[in-house]
Amino acid sequence: MAGIEGSTVLGSLWREVTEGSTAEAVTVFRLADRRAGGGHLYALVMRYLSSRVGPALVSESGAPATFVAAAGLTEMAGWMAHDAGRDDVAANHFQRALNLARAGEADALTAQIWASRAHLALHRDDTENALLAAEQAWRHLDGAEDTALRGRVLAMLTRAHAARGDAAIARAFLRQGEHLLSVPISPPTSEWTSPFDLASLASEAARSMCDLDDHAAAVEHAHHALNLRSPERVRARLLASLTLARALIGQREVEEAAGLVAEASTTTAEVGSAVAGARFQEVRAALASYRNVPEVATVLSQTGKAPHGSPAPTSNWSG
């Protein structure tokens, strides 16, 4: 959703989220986030938390469901802070979300938040804490959770073991995830758990295979993710495309990788995602080792002015 940062669009979005229930607001935020980066939406989510959810937490009528709603929205704020490049802020949100989910006795959401913490740890190259968080997520599953949540946790276990170089274990968890998500996904058992499907798993699998230096498998998984993702999932397609470029560079297919980088340049600049911007720069830096190839040199020259993510979010809400 290019231009979501405009006051008119944000105003319309605010009216939409305040007209329905909190669960409906989460759905609206998720749909907007898929089309634009979290940096554009972070302030709006924090405003919603402080004005609509926060007061209910301290009211006499507060119930466990109130804590669960606060946990779900606080986790969402953490993801948006992460997408805007504020990982310390994201970590704080995830910790608060975990405390709120425990207070609401929401095991499924607790498992999801641990999976989010695993993702953040992987982004920070903290493989040990990533594995610990992924294992904590797994322990909070009891078999009653929806398919998407179990698939998400399996993906994080795959990623964490791949980052550690545990190839056999990573592939075993990946096979479990593929088997689970290759059949129709069961309906969510909680309105607060996030969607996760075979395309999501394919994207995580591609990154895992890159970490294991199995670039042929990474190319296959990245192509699968792109084939499954619809055009409106702009950020998801961008990230999968950048992973594909990274894998192609690993295979020395640098001309094809350069073409993907050229295509990604404009989208990266438009999407409000510092994560995508950083990933773009990592892939571009890897491509720079082949600047002697004419096609690569041309793309490097054309993308010399680095795309950037969204501005860092700010808020004075304590979460």
| 250: its two tokens | 């690993």
Q: Mind listing the pLDDT tens digit of every residue in the chain (319 residues)? A: 344 445 566 678 888 888 888 878 888 888 887 766 566 688 888 888 888 888 777 665 557 788 888 999 999 999 989 998 999 999 999 999 999 999 888 999 999 999 999 999 999 999 999 999 999 999 999 888 889 999 999 999 999 999 999 999 999 999 999 999 998 877 777 778 888 999 999 999 999 999 999 999 999 999 999 999 999 888 899 999 999 999 999 999 999 999 999 999 999 888 878 999 999 999 999 999 999 999 999 999 999 765 555 444 433 333 3
Residues 6+ away with beta carbon under 8 Å from 312: 39, 84, 85, 86, 274
Half-sphere exposure of 142 (CA within 13 A, CB side): 8
Separation of alpha carbons 88 and 84, rounded Å: 11
**Are 161 and 173 in contact, with CB atoms under 8 Å apart?**
yes
Rg, Å, the chain Cα set: 20
Amino acid making up residue 165: G
